[in-house]
């Protein structure tokens, strides 16, 4: 018997690594796959641990065996309600059954023979089909994470995205922009106030010059920015510089093609096709899961030719089959919605317009093709990732980092050294 914990931990490492590229519909689909897989595992366990069928011979015979039907057993409970109520003082009598004169080995043989020959194939292999179909769904959902042409790009993107999100330079750049925007608002407010109060033009100019000098001349500014300069040490600056280079190379490589987008569309289309196939043939074949099965055995083997058999798990399997159809139906609707999302929205273009408005970094370029598609998927998980990642697409942010790295490299002591030698 397969431990349940093995299925609970199935793909947990992959889910943690690539969770930023899994929209809500992919996450919901994974839970549906786990539910469908548990249905299949439960059915397979019953198949392997319990008796499949039990047969009894029929004492009626006919030159045409098809004329003898076991339907009266199936309809017995329905006809039971039509029987006349027994009298108030019933006569109690002993009921003696008929002897079949069959030994245990003949019954075992008949059970296996009838199960293999006369039970419908769908009633026998239903749980195995559920497991196979569910595994195909799971493989199709994660195929682009394993395909050599796409897995390398995805793995590199997820790694860079995580480093950009956790980089101290990201927080530093966003906070600097916020401070500058605050200073600009302060200057604008002072200008409007001075205009309303009709203050002298020279005084207004002097105040504006002093406000701008606070922004442009760090030497005359009070030592407020000094703590922020020391917040990013030399090692962190070098790591941020390496991230800028990685982002540039990755963008150049990924924007050339749309393989990731095409692969995602293909695997989603495959799941939709699989969903339609399962719904159609399962809805047609579920009625073939019958509790009572009529079986014909050569009379020279046991002396009886017609056996009426009870499929022990047919009632449960039919209920599981309808439950499975419901899960597959919801899964298919999610896949159809995914296709609608893929074709309805321009996923090959990604604009950072909203990010530029929020952060104030105006030189963040728009991206296209697979790079844009990956960022659209990330937005479905958390838009904050794209906002922090955009810092490493800005040339202004890179130039500021370069200046900071130069400050770390050329300290005041190092600059005074050549002067001291000349003296």
Per-residue confidence in pLDDT tens, the chain, 423 aa: 455 555 455 555 556 778 899 999 999 999 999 999 999 999 999 888 878 888 888 877 666 666 667 765 555 545 554 444 444 545 545 455 667 778 888 889 999 999 999 999 999 999 999 999 999 999 999 899 988 888 889 999 999 998 888 887 777 766 665 455 444 444 444 555 555 555 455 554 454 444 444 444 444 444 444 444 445 566 767 777 888 888 888 888 888 888 999 999 999 999 999 999 999 999 999 999 999 988 888 888 888 888 889 988 889 999 999 999 999 999 999 999 999 999 998 888 998 888 788 777 788 888 899 999 999 999 999 888 888 888 888 887 777 777 776 655 555 555 556 655 555
Q: Across-strand partners of 53?
A: 311
Q: Would you state the pLDDT for residue 147?
A: 87
Residues pairing with 292 in the sheet:
310
Pairing of strands 306-311, 349-350: unpaired
**pLDDT for position 329:** 95
Q: Beta partners for 308? A: 56, 294
| Cα–Cα distance measured from residue 327 to residue 36, given in angstroms and rounded to the nearest whole number | 7
Cα–Cα distance for residue pair 322/16, rounded to 1 Å: 33
Q: Which two tokens stand for residue 29?
A: 């689909």
Say how far apart CA 358 and CA 365 lie, in whole Å.
15
CB 134 within 8 A of CB 40: yes
Measured from the Cβ of residue 106, the count of other Cβ atoms closer than 10 Å reads: 17
* Bridge partner list, 306: 296
**DSSP SS3 for 320:** helix
pLDDT at 48: 85
Residue 118 · residue 55 · CB < 8 Å: no
* Cα angle for residues 115, 118, 119 (degrees, 5° grid): 60
CB of 39 closer than 8 Å to CB of 324: yes
* Six token digits for residue 330: 């919801």
């Amino acid at each position: 018997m397969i431990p349940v914990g093995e299925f609970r931990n199935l793909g947990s490492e992959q889910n943690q690594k690539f969770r930023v590229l899994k929209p809500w519909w992919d996450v919901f689909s994974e839970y549906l796959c786990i539910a469908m897989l548990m249905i299949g595992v439960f059915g397979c366990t019953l198949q392997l641990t319990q008796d499949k069928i039990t047969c009894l011979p029929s004492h009626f015979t006919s030159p045409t065996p098809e004329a003898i039907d076991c339907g009266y057993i199936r309809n017995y409970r329905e006809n039971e309600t039509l029987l006349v109520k027994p009298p108030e003082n019933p006569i109690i009598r002993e009921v003696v059954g008929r002897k079949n004169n069959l030994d245990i080995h003949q019954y075992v043989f008949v059970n296996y023979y009838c199960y293999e020959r006369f039970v419908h194939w769908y009633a026998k292999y239903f749980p195995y089909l559920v497991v196979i179909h569910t595994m195909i769904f799971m493989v199709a959902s994660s195929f682009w994470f394993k395909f050599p042409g796409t897995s390398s790009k995805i793995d590199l993107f997820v790694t860079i995205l995580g480093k950009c999100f956790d980089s101290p330079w990201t927080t530093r750049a966003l906070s600097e922009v916020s401070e500058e925007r605050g200073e600009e608002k302060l200057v604008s407010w002072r200008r409007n106030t001075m205009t309303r109060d009709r203050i002298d033009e020279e005084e207004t100019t002097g105040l504006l010059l002093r406000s701008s000098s606070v922004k442009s001349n760090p030497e005359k500014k009070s030592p407020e920015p000094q703590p922020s300069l020391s917040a990013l040490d030399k090692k962190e600056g070098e790591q941020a510089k390496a991230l800028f280079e990685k982002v540039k190379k990755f963008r150049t490589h990924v924007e050339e093609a749309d393989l990731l987008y095409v692969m995602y569309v293909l695997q989603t289309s495959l799941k939709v096709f699989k969903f339609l196939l399962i719904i159609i043939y399962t809805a047609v074949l579920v009625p073939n899961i019958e509790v009572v099965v009529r079986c014909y055995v050569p009379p020279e083997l046991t002396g009886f030719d017609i056996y009426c058999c009870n499929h022990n798990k047919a009632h449960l399997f039919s209920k599981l089959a309808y439950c499975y159809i419901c899960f597959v139906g919801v899964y298919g609707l999610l896949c159809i919605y995914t296709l609608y999302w893929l074709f309805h929205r321009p996923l090959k273009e990604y604009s950072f317009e909203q990010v530029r408005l929020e952060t104030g970094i105006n030189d963040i370029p728009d991206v296209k093709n697979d790079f844009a598609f990956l960022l659209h998927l990330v937005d479905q998980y958390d838009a904050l990732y794209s906002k922090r990642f955009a810092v490493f697409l800005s040339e202004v942010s890179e130039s500021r980092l370069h200046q900071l790295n130069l400050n770390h490299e050329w300290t005041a002591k190092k600059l005074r050294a050549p002067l001291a030698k000349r003296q």
